[in-house]
Structure formats: structure tokens, C-alpha cells
């Protein structure tokens, strides 16, 4: 798996813990899980999460990884993700692929 060298990309259709502002919640309710997670598109730029949008909102032809409903969580936190957080993430993708991203860059991958 490769990420764009410029460090600007989307993580598409990731299941995350997220506490959106009340005004944004209706856009996420269709994908809300019983476990408090939502499907979202995360914009990664310059080693940080720059935006969190409802799944399917990222431009279709923009570079990125389709996580296909897999989990994305902050390394060591497990708490909700927020725009502005460092892009230090653990991804559990379909097919058992696990990825670790540090400051927006892929540092480890493997299959579980």
C-alpha cells in the first residue's frame, strides 16, 4: 500500500469514534453504529487530521485509501478522533490488513 508522497490524502469510509458538533450530527446519523462509531472520510494533510466528513463526501478521484468500513483509531488513545489531531492512527482494513500511520506516513503494515 502506498500513500501520496506529498502527505495529502483521504482515508475513505473509515469507522471511527467521533463526537461531531451538534449541527453536523444529522449528516452522520445514517452511518452511526450501535457502538458509537460512524463511517467517515478523513482528510490527512501535513501529519494531521484536517477534516472529518460523512463517508462518501471526499472527492471520488482524490488520492486515498478506501478502508471499506474498517476501524481507524488514534494510536494508544481509543478515544474520539477530532479534526486537528495528529494523524497517528491504527487502521484495521477489510481482509485482516492492519496499518499503522505516524504523522500521516505509513510506518507498518501486515496481516492479522
Report which of residues 105 and 31 the model is more confident about. 105
The Cα 5–Cα 92 span in angstroms is 22
Enter the pTM of the model. Answer: 0.85
Between strands 37-45 and 9-17, the pairing is antiparallel
pLDDT at residue 85 tops 70? yes
DSSP state of 28: H
The answer on pLDDT for 10 being more than 60 is: yes
Nearest to 41 by CA among 26, 61, 56, 30: 56
Nearest CA-CA partner of 98 in 74, 72, 64, 79: 72
Question: What does the pLDDT read at residue 109?
Answer: 65
Q: 45 and 104 in contact (C-beta within 8 Å)? A: yes
Residue 5 has pLDDT above 80, yes or no: no
- pLDDT for 112 equals 46
Say whether pLDDT at 22 is over 60. Answer: no
State pLDDT tens for residues 33-68.
778 788 999 999 999 999 999 999 998 888 888 888
Per-residue pLDDT, averaged over 68-76, amounts to: 90
Amino acid at each position: 500500500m502506498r500513500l501520496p508522497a506529498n502527505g495529502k490524502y483521504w482515508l475513505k469510509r473509515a469507522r471511527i469514534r467521533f463526537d461531531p458538533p451538534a449541527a453536523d450530527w444529522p449528516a452522520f446519523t445514517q452511518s452511526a453504529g450501535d457502538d458509537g462509531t460512524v463511517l467517515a472520510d478523513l482528510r490527512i494533510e501535513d501529519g494531521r487530521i484536517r477534516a472529518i466528513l460523512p463517508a462518501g463526501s471526499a472527492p471520488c478521484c482524490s488520492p486515498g485509501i478506501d478502508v471499506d468500513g474498517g476501524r481507524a483509531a488514534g494510536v494508544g488513545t481509543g478515544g474520539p478522533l477530532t479534526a486537528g489531531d495528529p494523524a497517528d492512527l491504527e487502521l484495521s482494513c477489510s481482509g485482516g490488513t492492519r496499518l499503522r500511520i505516524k504523522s500521516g506516513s505509513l510506518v507498518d503494515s501486515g496481516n492479522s
